[in-house]
Amino acid sequence: MTDKIVKDPKEWKEQLTPEQYEICINHGTEPPFSGKYNDSKLQGSFKCVCCGENLFSSNSKFDSGSGWPSFWEPVSEDNIEYISDTDYGMVRTEVNCKKCGSHLGHVFDDGPKPTNQRYCINSLSLKHEKDE
Ligand code: FE
């Protein structure tokens, strides 16, 4: 079991930039093609910017053309929390970091093989690290 991280909004505000806070804590969405990892070909891990949990690998990153970093699978299903999101009159599946609850993005079933999943993730929710 993952030990959850619980912080109140004030603590997150101190830790995060205003832009990160808007996405991660207020469940916002960065403008398409604005994020630093959208076009990135960096190899390694993409971790939760809030708690450091390892969420996605460059091995499953692909160019979806959507304007957001896209992955066809998470590092581990255990690290992801799935929530039904009916905002804006659409039924979507929101994905959050399971450990700290930070909002990451949404997942859609129009991704590439082998999973056919497209995890559409905000760059601002992620922190790249090279693998050792
Ligand atoms: Fe997290």
Mean pLDDT of all residues belonging to the chain: 96
Name the residue ranges covered by the structural domains of the chain: 9-129
Neighbours of ion ligand 1 (CB under 5 A): 48, 50-51, 53, 97, 99-100, 102
Compute the C-alpha angle 129/39/50, nearest 5°.
Answer: 40
Give the mean pLDDT of 82-101. Answer: 94
Query: Tell me: the pLDDT tens digits for 29-52?
Result: 999 999 999 999 999 999 999 999
Q: Which two three-digit tokens encode residue 27?
A: 């469940």
**What integer pLDDT is reported at residue 88 of this predicted model?**
86
Strand ranges of the sheet holding 54-57, from the earlier edge strand across to the other edge? 54-57, 45-48, 126-129
**What integer pLDDT is reported at residue 127 of this predicted model?**
98
**What integer pLDDT is reported at residue 3 of this predicted model?**
83
3-state secondary structure 80-131: EEEEEECHHHCCEEEEEECCCCCEEEEEECCCCCCCCCEEEECHHHEEEECC
Fold of 9-129: 2.170.150
Q: How far is the CA of 68 from the centre of ligand 1 (A)?
A: 19
Q: How far is the CA of 115 from the centre of ligand 1 (A)?
A: 23
**What integer pLDDT is reported at residue 70 of this predicted model?**
98
Query: Tell me: the pLDDT tens digits for 54-86?
Result: 999 999 999 999 999 999 999 999 999 999 999
Residue 120 designated active-site: yes
pTM for the complete prediction? 0.95
Rg (CA), the chain: 14
